Amino acid sequence: MKNKELLKVNNLRVHYPVRGGFWNRIVDNVKAVDGVSITIHQGDTYGLIGESGSGKSTTGKAIVGLEDATKGNIYYQGMDITKKSTRRKLKYNREVQMIFQDPQLSLNPEKRIADIIAEPLRNFEKLSKEEEKIRVIQLLDIVGLGPEALYKYPHQFSGGQRQRIGVARAVATHPKLIVADEPVSALDLSVQAQVLNFMKKIQEKFNISYLFISHDLGVVRHMCNHIAIMNRGRLVEVGTKDDIYNHPMHIYTKRLLAAIPETNVNQRKAHHENRLAVEKMYQDHKSEYYDEKGEALPLQKISETHFAAIPKSRVNLLKSGSGEVSD
Amino acid sequence: MQKSLETGAQLSKEDLIKLSDEAKNNATPSTFKIIWKEFKADKMALFSLIFLVAFIVFVIVGSMFINVSQMMQTNIMNYFAKPFTSNFLLGADAGGRPILEQLIVGSRNSILIALGLTVISSAFGICYGLISGYFGRVTDLSMQRVYDFMMIIPSFMIIIEIVNIIPNYNAITLTLLLSLFYWMGTQRLIRSQVLAESQKDYVSASKTSGSSNLKIIFKQIMPNISSLIIVDTTISFAENIGVETGLSYLGFGLPVGTPSLGTLIANANDADNITIYWWTWLPATIEIILLCLAISYIGAALRRATNSTQRRSTD
Ligand SMILES: Nc1ncnc2c1ncn2[C@@H]1O[C@H](COP(=O)(O)OP(=O)(O)OP(=O)(O)O)[C@@H](O)[C@H]1O
Ligand SMILES: [Mg+2]
């Protein structure tokens, strides 16, 4: 059964002006996001993967309304919320929240935990002081922290605990969608699983959808059912988990897959060789997959769920029935 | 969700209060407590603080018992009366006016003007820097051009001009006038810090939490630069004592007949006064040195208290 469509990003562009010259005029644009379309359904965990600087955070920020779209539209439950005024009128952020990459920076060091978690409640819901406190204690309980945390400051917690506080704040108003911007990449490997588990638990409890941003296909494997691969501001491959992990089409996706660390010691050598082979293939075929300006090609439909920015000739090759394209 | 709501509902009011109190006791000490500890660890700063407060209280209360117009009347009989006599503890000046009383009233005038100037100009500079740094872009650009303009105009000259032009002015108008020209340093300092703070994710988190810009500026960012504000304001206070004093010294400060530390120091403009009638200017000079020393000791302690790596107090 197909779930209801929750968020639709249509051809989103976010360009940052580069100013320079004598008059401080706009001389160029950084195309942080350059024509991204994403559809997130209710209950989805949608992975947005790409290397550093590919524009993932900018996409996420545009979705929660922290960055303005230069072009394109964002629809939430069918309503166009691209404009700030509409977002405010709809109390959009009550329903769409964000978990930030670095819990060290995303919690105000001068505020007590009670105030940090209560901030969205105070702005979006009218609760009495007591109701608010009870709600905060509940939220702390959900992420495995006791009420003694209430009057402490962020620096009195470990990194994992802090990120759980960030999760508690994001779910405070019972949002339907949470943009999680690399929520565990600042954390120790041992704590990553713990925070991810809390996020999963909360998803089941509140029926939340996630846009899960990461640079690591390994972390995403256990979280996401849909995945989009982002490269230089554009999507290069979109598909289900199966499409991406088992039938990758774009060389960039293959490269990311090869970069997942191998934990099995016995296969290290084979893994390393595979990685070198993929890297060589990437260098050899790079020019086919990007146009002369170095931008990714438009997405081609491969199956109902699977799209990839590959040259047309390869799509035709696929359709003629040769199955997997060998390189 | 249902389940957690129930457990939450089971919390009775007493439990809630008990939990809150326990949590409060575990909490970290407030900034005020940390500052107080630092002062206790640094005896010189503590002494300076006590000295400064006691002195300010003394001159304010003391000048209530002095009839200024009577004191400022010329009395040729007491022309350069010698100090350490029963009527003139610190002697008298060329007009036969008692130095000690002038010193008390003058200190009150100078200190109150410096305090007022510090409060007004710092408050303005802080708000200016917060807004400029937080909004950035065009707001910042235009606000900083205004700042540039204020920096290049020779403010001291302009103040002197204005003082000459306006017919009657008093301590309050003088304070307001000076405030127009002494907020720039503060705003520059605050702005640079706010520029960095605004980029941090806790500001983004506040935005997605639905807080208004004003709330974010004053409730989220300002507490994070409070140490900078405290230290800067203290130092401004020391500087501002110098502003009014300097102006009065040149003869453009408070109107004639109103004593200030500056007018007393101006006695030293006369060669005879410097060599023979030293009591006319020396007390005020020493007082200014002591005040500025005390304030700088206090400022140093504050700076250490607000910077956890430099604290002298243990724990
Ligand atoms: N405020 C800004 N002004 C100008 N350029 C920006 C700004 N924010 C981001 N960029 C540029 O946009 C591009 C994409 O940035 P973004 O933060 O979205 O990358 P990212 O995929 O999240 O990377 P990372 O994995 O390192 O977080 C980068 O090249 C960055 O330099
Ligand atoms: Mg990022």
For residue B59, give the CATH number of its domain: 1.10.3720.10
- Average pLDDT along chain A: 84
Average pLDDT value for residue range A138-152: 85
Q: Which residue has the higher pLDDT, A21 or B188?
A: B188
| Backbone angles phi and psi of A299, in degrees to 5 | -70, 140
Report how many Cβ contacts below 8 Å link chain A to chain B. 106
User: Which one is predicted more confidently, B104 or A268?
Assistant: B104
pLDDT at B300 over 50: yes
Q: Which atom of ligand 1 is nearest to the CA of A57?
A: 22
Q: Is the pLDDT of residue A130 over 60?
A: yes
Q: Are residues B90 and B283 in contact, defined by beta-carbon separation less than 8 angstroms? A: yes
pLDDT of residue A65 exceeding 60, the answer is: yes
Q: Is the pLDDT of residue B56 over 70?
A: yes
- My answer on whether A120 and A199 are in the same domain is yes
Decide which of B120 and B173 is more confident: B120
Q: How confident is the model at residue B2 (pLDDT cuts 50, 70, 90)?
A: very low
3-state secondary structure B248-279: HHHCCCCCCCCCCHHHHHHHHHCHHHHHCCHH
A131 reaches B (C-beta below 8 A): no
Per-residue pLDDT band at A1 (split at 50, 70, 90):
very low
Answer yes or no: do A225 and A270 share one domain. Answer: no
Q: Rounded to whole angstroms, how far apart are CA atoms A314 and A248?
A: 13
Query: Given the structure tokens 């249902």, which residue do they identify?
Result: B2
pLDDT at B308: 59
Q: Which residues of A touch B210 (CB under 8 A)?
A: 91, 93-94, 120, 123-124
For the stretch A183-222, pLDDT in tens is 888 888 888 888 888 888 888 888 899 999 998 888 888 8
- Look at residue B13 and tell me if it is in a domain: no
Whether residue A129 is found in the same domain as residue A82? yes
Rg (C-alpha) for chain B, rounded Å, is: 25
Residues A233 and A84 in one domain: yes
DSSP assignment string, A84-138 = HHHHHHTTGGGTEEEE-S-HHHHS-TTS-HHHHHHHHHHHH----HHHHHHHHHH
Distance from CA of B28 to the nearest CA of A (A): 7
pLDDT of residue B20: 67
The tally of domains found in chain A comes to: 2
Residue B278 belongs to some domain of the structure: yes
The pLDDT-based confidence of B122 (bands split at 50, 70, 90) is very high
Residue A327 pLDDT exceeds 60: no
Whole-angstrom CA distances from B4 to A43, A149, A168, A171, B20 are: 21, 18, 13, 13, 19
Mean pLDDT (whole number) for A283-290: 76
Per-residue model confidence (pLDDT) at position B119: 94
- Is there a contact between B23 and A111 if contact means CB atoms under 8 Å apart? no
Kindly report the protein residue whose alpha carbon is nearest to atom 26 of ligand 1.
Answer: A52
Nearest ligand atom owner, CA of A68: 1
> Residue A295, Cα to own-chain centre: how many angstroms?
21
Within this chain, do residues A114 and A74 fall inside the same structural domain, yes or no?
Answer: yes
Q: What is the ipTM of this complex?
A: 0.84
> Which of A246, A277, A295 delimits the end of a domain?
A246
Residue nearest to atom 25 of ligand 1 (CA): A52
User: What average pLDDT does this structure show over B186-197?
Assistant: 92
- Cα B18 to Cα A151: distance, rounded to the nearest angstrom: 13
For residue B101, the enclosing domain spans 34-67+86-306
Residue A53: nearest ligand to its CA?
Answer: 1
pLDDT of residue B195: 92
Residue B4 pLDDT more than 50?
no
Number of domains in chain B: 1
**Most confident region among A155-169, B160-174, B294-308 by mean pLDDT:** A155-169
- A143 and A270 share a domain? no
Spacing of C-alpha A245 from chain mean position: 17
Task: Say yes or no: A94 contacts chain B, CB-CB below 8 A.
Answer: yes
Q: Which of A213, A246, A279 is the C-terminal boundary of a domain? A: A246
- Do residues A269 and A238 both lie within one domain? no
Residue B224 reports pLDDT greater than 70: yes
Which sign, positive or negative, has the C-alpha torsion A198, A204, A205, A209? positive
End-to-end Cα, chain B, rounded Å: 42
Note whether residue B3 is domain-resident. Answer: no
**Is any atom of ligand 1 closer than 6 Å to the C-beta of A54?**
yes
pLDDT-wise least confident of A25-34, A198-207, A244-253, A290-299? A290-299
- Lookup: tokens for B123: 């408050």
Residues A236 and A254 in one domain: no
Q: How confident is the model at residue A77 (pLDDT cuts 50, 70, 90)?
A: confident
**CB of A207 within 8 Å of any CB in chain B?**
no
Average pLDDT over chain B reads 82
pTM over 0.90? The answer is no
Q: Note the pLDDT of residue B29.
A: 65
Is residue B100 pLDDT above 50, yes or no? yes
Percent of chain B clearing pLDDT 90 (strictly above): 23
Considering the domain boundaries, does residue B11 fall inside one?
A: no
B201 contacts A110? CB cut-off 8 A: no
Domain C-terminal end among A215, A246, A277? A246
- In this prediction, residue B3 carries a pLDDT of 43
Do A240 and A251 sit in the same domain of this protein? Answer: no
- Ligand 1 atom with the smallest distance to the CA of A18 is 4
- What is the spatial distance between Cα A249 and Cα A229, in angstroms, rounded to a whole number? 11
Local confidence band at B6 (pLDDT 50, 70, 90 cut-offs): very low
Q: What percent of chain B has pLDDT over 70?
A: 83
Across A272-276, B104-108, B177-181, least confident range: A272-276
pLDDT at residue B315 tops 70: no
A222 with A142, same domain: the answer is yes
Instruction: Give yes or no: residues A297 and A284 share one domain.
Output: yes
C-alpha to C-alpha distances, B120 to A94, B183, B227, nearest whole angstrom: 39, 8, 19
Residues A155 and A254 in one domain: no
Host domain of residue A42: 5-246
Q: How confident is the model at residue B13 (pLDDT cuts 50, 70, 90)?
A: low
